[in-house]
Amino acid sequence: MATQSKTANIKTADSQTTTIALRRPGQDSTRNAIILGIGLLIALAAPYVLYPVFVMKVLCFALFACAFNLLIGFAGLLSFGHAAFFGGAAYITAHSAKVWGLGPEVSILLGMGFSALLGLAFGALAIRRQGIYFAMITLALSQMVFFMALQLKFTGGEDGIQAVPRGHLFGVIDLNNSLSMYYFVLAVFLVGFAVVWRAVHSPFGQVLKAIRENEPRAVSLGYRTERYKLLAFVLSASLAGLAGGTKALVFQLASLTDVTWQMSGEVVLMTLLGGMGTLLGPVVGAAIVVTLESYLAATSMPVPVVIGAIFVVCVLVFRRGIVGELQARFGRR
Amino acid sequence: MFDLLGVPPQVLFGQLLLGLINGSFYALLSLGLAVIFGMLNVINFAHGALYMIGAFVAWLLLTKLGLGYWWALGLSPLIVGLLGVALEKTMLSRLYKLDHLYGLLLTFGLALIMEGAFRHFYGVSGQPYPIPDALKGGQNLGFMFLPNYRGWVVVASLIVCFGTWFAIERTRLGAYLRAATENPVLVQAFGINVPVMITATYGFGVALAGLAGVLAAPIYQVSPLMGTNLIIVVFAVVVIGGMGSILGAIVTGLGLGLLEGLTKVFYPEASNIVVFVVMAIVLLIKPAGLFGRER
C-alpha cells in the first residue's frame, strides 16, 4: 500500500514537471526567437566590423564550449580532458588537408570521426567512475594524447602542422577568401549549436538531466545510465572535434597548444563564466575569454594569473555564470 | 660484465633508482591528496603548484636569506602549510556544501594563479639548487653507484610516508581523523572541533607537498613548471591506487615510479604514457582502483 502511494506521488510530481516543461517552450519561444535572431544578425554582420579571424576564433571556441557544456551542464559530467578531442581533431584535419590533399569538408569530418572514436574509448573508461574521479581520468587520458602528439612523427612535435591549406569547399568555394571562410565557420557553428539544442530538448536530453540530478533514481526508473552517459560523451567529443578541425583550417595550424591541459581548463572556464547548463552561456563565455586573451596578449599581464583569478571568482561568488545569472534575474529557467 | 635481459646492470639499476625517486615523489604527493580528499572531499589541483612553491621557498631561503637545505627542510613545509591554511580558511571552506567539483575548479584556478605568477617573475628556465654538503658524494654498491642525496630522498620520503600512515592508522588523533572522515557530524557532537581539524588536515596535506618540493629541489631544477606535469601523473596514480587507503597510495606511488623506470630502459618512447596506460587497464579490470573501495 505504502509503495503504491509513493509511486503515485512520484507520478504526480513527474506529470507536474511535464506540464511545466510543456508550457515553458510556448512562453519562451518568442523571446528565444528574438535572442537568436539578434545573435544571428550580429554573427552575419560581424566580419564587416571586426577582424574576421578573431570572430572565427570566437566561433570555434564557442562551439567547443557548447560541446563541453553538453556534458557538464546537462549530464553533470566534468571532463577535464576535452583538449584531447579538440586538438586531436585539429591534427587529423590538418594532416588530411595538407598531406593527403583532401577537401576541407572531408578533412573536418575525418577529424570529427577521430574525436568520436577517441571519445568512445575515453568515455567507456571514464564513465566507470563518477564525480571527481571522472575529471581526473579524463585529464590523465588527455595528457596521454598530449605526450603522443609530442612524440609521434606526423604531428610535427613542437612545431605542429603548419601552413595547412584551407582548400576549396566542395571543390568550388575558395576558402582562402576570409569572408567565405567566415561564413563557412559560421555555418559549422550553427550546425553544431543546433545539434546541441536538439539533443538538450529531446527525450535523450531529459534523461541526461535526470542522471545529473539523481543517477540512482534514473537507474531505478529503468534507464541504462551508462549508455546515455557514453552517448553524451561521444556526442560532446565529436562536436569538440568539429570545433578543433575547423579551428585548424582557420589558423592553418595544428599545434601542441590545442592538446594541453591548459586548453581543457580554458573551455571549463568559458562554460563556467558564461553559465553551465545554459545554451547560450558557453557562447558568451567563449567570446569574453577569447577577447580578454587577445587583449591581454598585448599587455605585459600574465595571462594564466588573470584566467586563474576569474576562475576563483566564478567558483566563489558567480557560480551561475553570466547567462545563468541573467536568466535567474528575469525569471527564466 | 654480465647483462640482465640484454641491458647493462648500471643502466638498469640507474633507471630503477630514478624510478624509485620519482615513485617517492608520487607517493608523497598522492598521500597528501588522499589525506585531503578523505577529510575535505576536495581533489586538490593546486597540489602540484604548492609542491613547486615548496621548492621555490627553499631556493629563495638560500639565495635571499642564506638559509641552507636543512633550514628549508623545516621552514618550507611550514610556510606552504600556512599558505594552505589561509587558502582553506578564506576560500575552500565556503565550498563544502556544494558539489565536490567546485573544489576541483577552485584549486585549478589557484594553481593557474600560483604558477602564472612564478612564471611571470622567474621565467620558465630552472634555477639550480645545490646538494647539501653532508649528502654529497655517493656509495659504490658494486652493481651500481648510488649518490648519497638520492638515497636520502628515498629514505626520507619513506619515513615521512610511513610516519603519516602510522599517525593516521595507529594514533588517537588519527582515530579522530578517520572518524571525522566517516561521519563529521557525529564526531562534532562528541565535542571535537571538526572545522579546525579540516583546516589542519589541508595544511598538513599541503605541507607534505611542500616537503616533496624541498626534497626535489636538488634533483630536478627549481622551475615554475615542475608541479603541473607531475600532478597529472599523480592524479593517474591516485585513480590506480584508489583513494581508500593511505598505504595503497604509498605502495602505488612507489610501484608506478619503478614501472616508469623499467619502461625507460626497455621502451623509452612509452615512458611518458605508461602510467596512463596502466590507469586504463586498472579501470577496465578493477574500476575502484587497486586499493580503493567504492564510495
Residue with cell 584566467: A307
- The alpha carbon dihedral of B65, B71, B72, B76 has a sign of negative
Residue A302 has pLDDT above 50, yes or no: yes
In a domain, A289, yes or no: no
- The alpha carbon dihedral of B200, B202, B205, B207 has a sign of negative
To the nearest whole angstrom, how far is the Cα of A237 from the nearest Cα of chain B?
18
Q: State whether A136 and B43 contact (CB < 8 Å).
A: yes
B187-223 burial, b for 16+ CB within 10 Å, e for fewer? beeeeeebeebbbbbbbbbbbbbbbbbbbbbbbbebb
Element (H, E) at A92: helix A83-98
Residue with cell 594569473: A305
Mean pLDDT of A115-141: 89
pLDDT in the model for residue B55? 93
Interface test with A, best of B88, B113, B285 (most A CBs within 10 A): B113
pLDDT class of B132 with cuts at 50, 70, 90:
confident
Mean pLDDT of A152-165: 81
pLDDT digits (tens, 9 = 90+) for B192-219: 888 899 999 999 999 999 999 999 999 8
The span from the CA of A215 to the CA of A1, in Å, is 26
Residue B20 has pLDDT above 70, yes or no: yes
Mean pLDDT of B8-16: 81
Structurally, how many domains does chain A consist of? 1
What is the residue-averaged pLDDT of chain B?
87
Nearest CA in chain A to B43: A132
Cβ atoms of residues B282 and A137 within 8 Å: no
The span from the CA of A188 to the CA of A109, in Å, is 11
In a domain, A15, yes or no: no
Cβ atoms of residues A67 and A239 within 8 Å: yes
Nearest CA in chain B to A319: B102
pLDDT digits (tens, 9 = 90+) for A32-52: 788 888 888 888 877 888 888
pLDDT digits (tens, 9 = 90+) for A230-244: 999 999 999 999 999
To the nearest whole angstrom, how far is the Cα of B42 from the nearest Cα of chain A?
8
Domain extent, residue A223, equals 51-261
Helix-strand-coil split of chain A, %, nearest 5: 75, 0, 20
DSSP bridge partners of B7: B4
Closest CB to A308 among B102, B110, B272: B110
* Of residues A19 and B111, more confidently modeled: B111
Residue B169 has pLDDT above 80, yes or no: yes
Interface predicted TM-score (ipTM) of this complex, two decimals: 0.85
Please choose, from the candidates A187, A166, A193, A178, the residue with its C-alpha nearest in 3D space to the C-alpha of residue A62.
A193
Closest CB to B239 among A133, A309, A314: A133
* Cβ count near A57 (within 10 Å): 21
Residue with cell 605526450: A147
In a domain, A66, yes or no: yes
Chain A residues near residue B119 by CB distance under 8 angstroms? 302, 304
The span from the CA of A318 to the CA of A329, in Å, is 13
Mean pLDDT of A88-92: 93
CA A218 from centroid of its chain's CA atoms: 25
Nearest CA in chain A to B288: A129
In a domain, A123, yes or no: yes
The span from the CA of A324 to the CA of A313, in Å, is 15
- Contacting residues for A174 by C-beta, under 8 A, at least 6 apart: A168, A180
A263-301 burial, b for 16+ CB within 10 Å, e for fewer? bbbbbbbbbbbbbbbbbbbbbbbbbbbbeeeeebeeeee
Residue B7 has pLDDT above 80, yes or no: no
Residue A15 has pLDDT above 50, yes or no: no
Nearest CA in chain A to B283: A125
Mean pLDDT of B56-81: 91
Residue A4 has pLDDT above 50, yes or no: no
- In the three-class reduction of DSSP (H, G, I as helix; E, B as strand; rest coil), residue A119 is classed as helix
Residue A5 has pLDDT above 90, yes or no: no
pLDDT digits (tens, 9 = 90+) for B228-242: 878 888 988 888 887
Q: State whether A125 and B105 contact (CB < 8 Å).
A: no
Closest CB to B101 among A131, A303, A311: A131
Residue A8 has pLDDT above 50, yes or no: no
Mean pLDDT of B177-205: 89
Chain B residues near residue A147 by CB distance under 8 angstroms? 272-273
Q: State whether A139 and B115 contact (CB < 8 Å).
A: no
Among A128-132, A217-221, B109-113, B151-155, the range scoring the smallest mean pLDDT is A128-132
Q: Report the relative pairing of strands A173-174 and A168-169 from DSSP bridges.
A: antiparallel
Please choose, from the candidates A271, A270, A263, the residue with its C-alpha nearest in 3D space to the C-alpha of residue A83.
A263
DSSP structure class, residue B110: H
pLDDT in the model for residue A14? 38
pTM of the model: 0.86
pLDDT in the model for residue A18? 40
pLDDT in the model for residue B96? 83
Residue A19 has pLDDT above 50, yes or no: no
pLDDT in the model for residue B182? 84
Q: C-alpha grid cell for residue A287?
A: 567570446
Mean pLDDT of A12-23: 39
pLDDT in the model for residue A13? 36
pLDDT in the model for residue B293? 65
Chain B residues near residue A135 by CB distance under 8 angstroms? 43, 101, 104
